[in-house]
Amino acid sequence: MQVNITFRHLDPTEALKAHVKGRVEHVQRYIDRPSEAHAVLHVENLYHHAEITVKAGRFLLRGTAKSQDMYASIDQAADKIEKQLKKHKEKIHDRHKSAPGTSELAAVEVRHDVIDIIDHPERPSHRVVRSTQFQAKPMSLDEAILQLDLLDANFYVFQNADDRAINVVYRRDDGNVGLIEARGA
């Protein structure tokens, strides 16, 4: 497994690199296929932040943590990924086997913008705070909900494998999951 480590506002020590690689290799035992991982370690104020992203087949797993100690943050982030994998390992295995034909569909490019409202005395306006482009991969609704849970995200954009439409699953305020289906005019 290839492990990429990014250090921000922190000296890249061999001990930290070895600790991240060891924790990622420990998590890899729950993954059936070879994968890659990326860790971002940074210090902000007095907190040590660790974000680990692991690619497991078609799925992305993300664990983030912050604490007073970088090693503890790395351990907590890896533990979150391990917990997600343990919880969903059987579902991932079953979904992958039961979804024939989805690999032939091409992924669709999607752009996500975060917009901020600027308060101006004469007229309020909007500005883009952050933009992200990614591929909406073809998958079933069940796989998209599983991916939403694995990433611990508020929403997940995907291409529906049945009708090839762009859909969004999102976490509602009441704890349930909602679905937005895009249809052409």
Question: For residue 103, what pLDDT is reported?
Answer: 47
Outline which parts of the chain fall under CATH 3.30.505.50.
Answer: 102-181
CATH dotted code for 2-97: 3.30.160.100
Question: For residue 95, what pLDDT is reported?
Answer: 52
**Inter-residue contact 120 to 148 (CB < 8 Å):** no
Question: For residue 24, what pLDDT is reported?
Answer: 87
CA distance to 28, 74, 181, per residue, from 23 (Å) = 9, 8, 38
State CA 97 to chain mean position distance.
22
H or E stretch at 78: helix 70-97
25-66, pLDDT tens digit by residue? 888 777 766 578 899 999 988 899 999 988 877 677 889 999
Return phi, psi of residue 181, to 5°: -110, 125
pTM: 0.54
89-142, pLDDT tens digit by residue? 666 555 555 545 444 555 556 655 555 555 656 666 666 666 677 777 888 888
Q: Over the Cα atoms of the chain, what is R_g?
A: 19
In the block, tokens 């890659």 appear at 36
Looking at 3.30.505.50, 3.40.800.20, 3.20.20.140, 3.90.79.10, the CATH number of the domain 102-181 comes to 3.30.505.50
Question: For residue 120, what pLDDT is reported?
Answer: 57
CA dihedral 163, 110, 37, 26 (to 10 degrees): -40
In the block, tokens 């305020």 appear at 173
Question: For residue 49, what pLDDT is reported?
Answer: 93
Outline which parts of the chain fall under CATH 3.30.160.100.
Answer: 2-97
End-to-end CA distance of the chain: 45
In the block, tokens 């994968």 appear at 35
Rounded Cα–Cα distance for residues 113 and 138 (Å): 21
* Mean pLDDT to the nearest integer, 13-22: 91
In the block, tokens 């569909």 appear at 105
Going by the DSSP 8-state scheme, the letter that residue 137 receives in this structure is: -
Angle of helix 141-151 versus helix 70-97 axis, rounded to 10: 170
